[in-house]
Amino acid sequence: MLAMAAMNDNDDGVDLQQMRYVVAVAETRNFTRAAERCSVVQSSLSHRIAGLERELGVKLFARSSRRVELTSAGTAFVAGARECLAAADRAVADAAAANGVVRGRLAVGVIVTTAAVDVPELLQRYRARHPDVRVFLRSGRSDDLAAAIRNGDLDIAFLGLPEGERPSGVEAIVLDHDEHVLVVPAGHRLAGASRVALQEIAEETFVDFVAGTPARAQSDQAFAAAGLVRDVAYEAGVVELITRLITRGLGIALLPSAFVRPLAADHPELALVPVADGPRRTEYLAWSRFNPSPATRAILDVLGVGRQA
């Protein structure tokens, strides 16, 4: 168990500030950037870490003029330090919440095609109500975001999964159901069609998300269910690249209608066509029911789901 002492240079033992310094160096792999992150001069940060290494009797970092890496002892220390720092931050947040003030941190995950909630507007309202909470936003694929909630790296996330699938190992509520539309260049042969079927477009060249992701699975499953095989020549992780490839006439795509319709309104070079038997997805709000922080409970209240936390 790591000993906690008062945070000054003259006390023996390990203190929270030393832990923060070590974690900052581990994450930046640079003493100068770590000092900037911690708002301290580099000489002070280096002195505190050197003192900690003497106290522990081990080297936490392997250093050269160009590289900084954790030693095996450093790796073990950082894992424990992160737990201690999280516990300390949570203690401060809980104490403030008991006095009616929400503080601490809130880590939010979001898929790039979120449409059921205007996330920037939500975070603006949240900040207005709880200005003392530091909010972190991370985008990613739905399965990775759900895993981050399970691991405690995220507090909440907005996910999108093929219809009929639910996020695993987290609490979740349905925000919306949506169907995909066909996205083609404005001059494409199908641009003016009232509706198409997957059979009619199976021979086309497709642009889609990266294979193995939930966003890609939505279309893959629809074609598989129809007994069809398609050619995905271009894979991309962001919608902007997908639409740019489409406008260049390199392929077509199936994208969630609620997300892509506002986008297409500002891009006349794109045309949208309903798909009779196309993919469908469900958007979820996910969080961990295990001991949610005051900051997490507060954003669930803003979203109107606080009673379910």
Helix axes 257-265, 239-247, angle to 10 degrees: 60
The β-bridge relationship of strands 171-185 and 104-110 is unpaired
Q: Quick one: what percent of the chain has pLDDT higher than 70?
A: 91
pLDDT tens digit sequence for 20-72: 899 899 989 999 989 998 889 999 999 999 999 998 999 999 988 788 999 99
* Strands, E assignment, the chain: 61-63, 68-70, 104-110, 133-139, 156-162, 171-185, 205-209, 231-236, 253-256, 270-274, 280-287
pLDDT tens digit sequence for 242-272: 999 999 999 999 999 999 999 999 999 999 9
Q: Residue 16: what pLDDT?
A: 84
11: three-class secondary structure by DSSP: coil
The torsion angle over the Cα atoms of residues 103, 109, 110 and 112, rounded to 10 degrees, is: 120
Give yes or no: residues 143 and 158 share one domain.
yes
Query: Considering the entire predicted model, what is its pTM?
Result: 0.72
The answer to whether residue 2 scores a pLDDT higher than 60 is: no
Q: Kindly state whether residue 8 falls inside one of the protein's structural domains.
A: no
Give yes or no: residues 75 and 138 share one domain.
no
With bands split at pLDDT 50, 70 and 90, how would you rate the model's confidence at 305?
Answer: confident
With bands split at pLDDT 50, 70 and 90, how would you rate the model's confidence at 5?
Answer: very low
The sign one gets for the Cα dihedral 194, 195, 201, 205 is positive
Domain that holds residue 159: 104-309
Give yes or no: residues 20 and 38 share one domain.
yes
Give yes or no: residues 146 and 130 share one domain.
yes
Assigned token pair, 266: 């500002």
Lowest mean pLDDT among 15-19, 106-110, 129-133: 15-19
The answer to whether residue 10 scores a pLDDT higher than 50 is: no
- Give the total number of structural domains in the chain: 2
The β-bridge relationship of strands 171-185 and 270-274 is antiparallel
- Among the candidates 98, 133, 149, a domain finishes at 98
**Cβ neighbours around 121 below 10 Å, total:** 9
For residue 190, the domain's CATH number is 3.40.190.290
Give yes or no: residues 183 and 260 share one domain.
yes
Q: Residue 3: what pLDDT?
A: 36
Q: Residue 292: what pLDDT?
A: 87
Give yes or no: residues 140 and 264 share one domain.
yes
The answer to whether residue 79 scores a pLDDT higher than 70 is: yes
With bands split at pLDDT 50, 70 and 90, how would you rate the model's confidence at 308?
Answer: low
The answer to whether residue 7 scores a pLDDT higher than 50 is: no
Q: Kindly state whether residue 120 falls inside one of the protein's structural domains.
A: yes
For residue 32, the domain's CATH number is 1.10.10.10
Give yes or no: residues 42 and 149 share one domain.
no
Give yes or no: residues 66 and 132 share one domain.
no
The answer to whether residue 282 scores a pLDDT higher than 90 is: yes
Give yes or no: residues 156 and 216 share one domain.
yes
User: Nearest-CA neighbor of 142 among 122, 172, 120, 181?
Assistant: 172
31-70 in b/e form (b: 16+ CB < 10 A) is: beebbebbebeeeebbebbeebbeeeeeebbeeeeeebeb
Q: Kindly state whether residue 7 falls inside one of the protein's structural domains.
A: no
For tokens 């809130």, the residue is 106
Angle at alpha carbon of residue 83, lines to 77 and 87, rounded to 5°: 140
Give yes or no: residues 91 and 111 share one domain.
no
